[in-house]
Amino acid sequence: MGVLCMVLGPSGSGKSTSMRNLDPRFTEVLGCTGKRPPFKTQLSVWLRSDYPSICQILAANTRPIYVIDDSTYLMQFDNFRHASEKGYDKFVKMAVNFEMLLEAAMATTPDTVVYFLHHPQFGDDGSSKPQTIGKMLDSQLCIEGLFDVILECAVVEGRHVFFTNEHGVSKSPWGMFSEQLIDNDLAVVDAAIREFWNLPPLPPMETPGGQDHED
C-alpha cells in the first residue's frame, strides 16, 4: 500500500514550486490543467491528465514518486463535464471518480509516495479543509482521513513553508519532522517519509533528465 501525502494550499502558496528539487529519475508529475511547472526543470510532466490516465499510470507503478498537480482541478473539470445533468446522481459519479483515484494511489507498492497538490476551502470560522464538489465526499468519506501526511502551505516572513502538524488539517506522524514549520521542499519531505517508515532510500540525485508529455 502506497503512502499518500496531500499538500494543501491556495494558488500562489508554493504547492507546485515545492516539486523543484525532486529527482527526475524517480518522479512522474501528473499535471491536470495543461500548466507547466513554475520553474526550470527536467521532470517528466504529463500536462493534461484525467482520472483514467492517472489511474492507469499509477497501476503501472514504474516510479516511486508521483505528484498529482492539481487534484482539485480533476474534480472541477469533472463537475463541468456533468454540468448539464440534473439531480444527485452526478455528484455520486464525481465522488466515485475521486474515490477510485484514491484507491489507485493506495494500491501502489509500499515504497511509492503519491503527492496530491490540492486547494483548500474555508469555513465561516476560518477553518480549512480539502476542497471538494458536493457533500458526498465530505459526509461519507472525509478524504483527509485517508492521507498519511497532510502539509499546509504558508508564507511566513517572506518564506514559503509547510505546516507539518497542529495547523488546520495538517498532520504527520509524531517524530517524522523535527519542526512544525519546514521549507516547502518535497525532496526533503520525501526523504523524511522514507526514513520514518523504513522505506528504501532513493539514490543521490545525478544530472537531471526528462521530458514533457502531451496526452
pLDDT 10s digits, 147-180: 999 999 999 999 999 999 999 899 999 999 999 9
In this structure, what C-alpha cell is assigned to residue 84? Answer: 448539464
Angle at 28 between CA 23 and CA 30, to 5 degrees: 140
Confidence of residue 93 (pLDDT cuts 50, 70, 90): confident
Domain segments of the chain as ranges: 3-146
Band of residue 112 on the pLDDT scale cut at 50, 70, 90:
very high
Q: Is the CB of residue 18 less than 8 Å from the CB of residue 118?
A: no
- C-alpha distances (whole Å) from 34 to each of 31, 37, 45, 76 are 6, 10, 10, 14
CA angle 66-171-47, nearest 5°? 25
User: Which CATH number does 3-146 carry?
Assistant: 3.40.50.300
151 touches 162 (CB < 8 A): yes
Strand order in the sheet with 3-8: 181-183, 159-163, 149-156, 3-8, 113-118, 65-69, 27-31, 44-46, 212-213
* pLDDT tens column, 178-214: 999 999 999 999 999 999 999 999 998 765 444 545 4
Rounded Cα distance between 62 and 108, Å, is 10
Q: Output the pTM of the full model.
A: 0.90
Distances (CA, A) of 92 to 53, 136, 146, 152, 214: 21, 7, 19, 28, 30
Residue 183: asked if its preceding bond is cis (omega within 30°), the reply is: no
